[in-house]
Structure formats: C-alpha cells, structure tokens
Amino acid sequence: MDVRGAVAVVTGASSGIGAATALRLHEAGARLVLHGRDGDRLDALAERTGGVAVRADFAEPGAVEAAAEEIAARAGRVDVLVNNAGMGYAGPVSGMSGADVRRLLSVNLAAPVELTRALLPALLDCPRSVVVFVTSIAGRAGVAGESVYSATKAGVDVFAESLRLELAGTGVRVGVVVPGVVDTEFFARRGRPYQRRSPRPVPADKVAAAVLGAITAERAEQYVPRWLRLPIAVRGTVPSVYRALSARFGGSAEFPESFRHWKR
C-alpha cells in the first residue's frame, strides 16, 4: 500500500509510539488525523505535520463515539487506522480499585474495538485500507503485576485476528505490532518507572517503523524486537518448559529476555 496522500488516523499520538508513528507517516506522505489527550502536545504535532488534531479521553463515556464522528467529519475518508492509544498499571490486581480496572478496560480494549467498528464503513469504502493494532508482549506472555493490562492487550490481539478473518475478501487488511519494552513515558505514567537492566527498552521510532511496515507491506504480525517471537513459540509448542521458566522468573519483564540468551 502506498501511503502518499492516504488519510491516516493515529490514536495516542501526543507522545511515545503514537507520535513517532505520526512522524513516520508524515514523512511517507500521508495526511494525518491525530488523536490524543494532551492538547498542547497534540496541537504542536499537528502543526508540525499539517495534521488534524482530535482531542479525547477514551476513558470518558461517549468519548470514542464523539471522536469517531469528528474524525469522519473532518477527514472525509479513512485509509489507515492505527489503534495505538493505551495506558498501563503496575501493581497487584488486589490493590486496584474498580475505577482503575474500568479505565484500563475502556482505554486499552473497548476504545480500539469501538473506534474500529465506527470507522469500518469508511475503511470499507476505500479500494484498499489498513487497520493496525499496537498490542504488547504482555498480552501474549503475561506479566506479574500487570494482570489487567495484559488481559486488555490479549483481548485486542484476539479481536484483531477475528477481524482479519471477518474482513477476508474485502479491501481492508489487518496488522498487529507486538512491542516489548519501549523507551517512552508509559512506565512513569503507569505508577512504576522501568528500572531493570534487561531487557533494554527499544526506541519508540523502531516500533513506529514496524507500524509503517505493517501498513505499506501489509504485514499481519510483527514483534519488536523480533526475538520476542521465541518465547511465544515455546509457549505454543512446549508449554511445560515455558511455564517452568516463567515460574523461575516470576512472570516478570526479564522473563522473555531469558529466551534471548538461550537462543544465543
């Protein structure tokens, strides 16, 4: 798919992976519709890229529907939808409030499902279009202390796969990008900064490059970094080995790194 002149909607574009993705798409010649919560950052990015800014907090009731209506009204058409907006939470599930759980479910799972549903008619109207979901290795491997976050990302994974099957034979392609630890403000915002030495965070632009590849090359699935495929393959083929290693590392973020060293 050639993104030059294509209308691309990027959620969570005010920082991190979303902002890096927006810049990549801008450099490739796309016309941008940028969603985010931080109005100042969003406006600055829109000015830099010539994009349209749509400010919304997807945790608020009716926010996704309102944003979809604004996107449709201001964009005219939608060729690319990048569902990237998300938030984290670090800590045992027993320490979460009901509001914490609902916010994670709303922003990470309900919002991409609802926005995709709302914009799907516009995507189907295009001869060729792409929907990309930015998920997480936590949704495939599970991480202790991030139970609800992991569950939301796993839900997006299954939704994306089901949508891909549902849209077979249409002009809409579905891609998933599965990042590991990324160097963004995500960890500070979730309530616990990332302090481990391994695995080392990858730059947000590396994930953005994978998102662009999912669009232009219509790749169904990409891991960032690529070696993250290994623990998931082990989980599917020899689950007992996977669970033994997971128990050893406590289901922590270091767990996938153990497979990296084993591979070497």
pLDDT of 242 over the 70 cut: no
- Count of other CB atoms within 10 angstroms of residue 209: 17
Which of 50-64, 154-168, 220-234 shows the lowest per-residue confidence on average (mean pLDDT)?
Answer: 220-234
Rounded Cα distance between 245 and 204, Å, is 28
Q: Minimal CA–CA distance to 81: which of 32, 132, 37?
A: 132
pTM listed for this prediction: 0.88
Which of 101-110, 125-134, 246-255 shows the lowest per-residue confidence on average (mean pLDDT)?
Answer: 246-255
pLDDT at 193: 60
Rounded Cα distance between 16 and 75, Å, is 23
Report, as residue numbers or ranges, the catalytic residues: 149
> 133, exposed or middle or buried, with CB in 10 Å at 0-12, 13-18, 19+?
buried
| Amino acid found at 67 | A
pLDDT at 260: 47
Q: pLDDT digit string (tens) for 21-37? A: 999 999 999 999 999 99
| Domains of the chain, first to last | 7-224 (3.40.50.720), 234-264 (no CATH)
pLDDT at 186: 63
